[in-house]
Each structure stands twice: as structure tokens, then as C-alpha cells.
Homo-oligomer: A and B are copies of this chain.
């Protein structure tokens, strides 16, 4: 019997997974992967300006609205599961307990690959702290002595998805993924983010321009594989292959 293929996205705030790797989620879901989206927070304090500008807004109402958006987006993308840890944002706190909650999800999912933020982000330290924590939790999940008896984690790749203002983050994509077949799903998920409408067209432009990069790198001036929408990723670990 074939093993179910799985992937895990770790998103600092509720909307990050949509802009940055919504295409990868939808594409792998269509390919039969169970993709789990783990939102560490709802971005309730730091990424919900539009809501906070409304009269009488409360933290709970913001969280609730953001959770609904995240659920709708995850559904639009075909994610198998959405886990919201509600750790609080701006700043995210990576206490030992919180890290163990992340480890627990990693162990349960046993992902073939993981996706998270860039390793540097001077605008948003929640992002870079998330990736540091993911690396630490990946290590813990690999330990035979952590909750002995549980299945230990293998060595999943960690892909860093595209940050805002890529060059300021020192992010360099080494992998372009053609998301043309699922673009409509990504766009639908994007439109679930009602509080950040100013970014809908922004990330549509990003996807179209990344498709240009896909084409360049698949064939240069002599042609290249056609592609209309793409996403870029940076790998942390080396690949192991049987053919170059």
C-alpha cells in the first residue's frame, strides 16, 4: 500500500501562506498530497490594520475574522488541514512549550517537505524567528529520545517561500514552480484576504513575473517551457538525486 504523501507549511501569521505559497499548496493537493497549514498566529495585532481602524474592534473579533479568512483560503487551496496555534503575534513568542507544539505537528504530519519564511527579515522579525524555530523543531522531531516510541522525522527539505521585498531579505530562489494549473485557486484564496485588498494585484503581478523567470530558466531565448504563473523558493538543504 502506498504511503500518503504529505507537506507542511509553517506560516507566522494567518495570511502568509496564501501570498507566498498558495500555488504550491493547491498544486500538491491536486497531486494527492495532504498539505497541512500551520498558522502560528492570526496576525491579529500586526497584520490587521484595516480591522483595527473600525470602531470598537477587539482582539477576539480580529482573531475570529482572520481565522475565518484563513479557513476559507485553506479550503480554496485544497489544504488537508489548517492548524492555528494562536501563539500571539508582534511578537511571536517561541517558548519551550510553544516549540513543542510545533514539534508535535511536525511529528504527526511527517512531511515530505516543509515551507516557511526567509531567514532574515528586518521589517518583520516574526518571520525570521519562525524559520529559526522551524529549524530547531525539525531537529527535535528527528531525535529518537524525544517522546520515545513516536515515529521520528526523516530529513525533509525546508523551502523558504517568497518574502515581501525579496532583496532586502537576502532571499534567493533556487526553485521555480509552475502554478499555472492552479492559479484560479490561488487567486480565489487571495481574495479571501479581505483586509489586505491592496495586495491582491501585487501578488498577481509577482506570480506573472515569476513565470517569466520560469521560462528564462527552462529555455532562455531559444524557447523555454511556457508558464503563466509561478512561485519561487529557496532551499535550505542539499538535494539527493540519481540524475542531474
Contacts and interface: CB of A to CB of B under 8 A. Distances in A.
Interface of A: 7, 24, 27-28, 31, 44-46, 48-49, 52-53, 57, 59, 62, 89-91, 93, 96, 99, 113, 122-126, 132, 135-136, 139-140, 142-146, 148, 151-155, 157-159, 164-168, 170-178, 201-202, 205-206, 208-209, 212-214, 216-225, 227, 232-233, 235-244
Contact of A144 (B49, B122, B178, B233): B49
A209 B219 contact: no
B125 A243 contact: no
Given A205-B208, A213-B165, A222-B142, A122 B236 contact: yes
**What is the interface of chain A mostly: helix, strand, loop, or mixed?**
mixed
Contact of A99 (B57, B91, B132, B177): B91
A174 B238 contact: yes
B49 A173 contact: no
Contact of A171 (B91, B143, B159, B167): B167
Contact of A46 (B28, B146, B205): B146
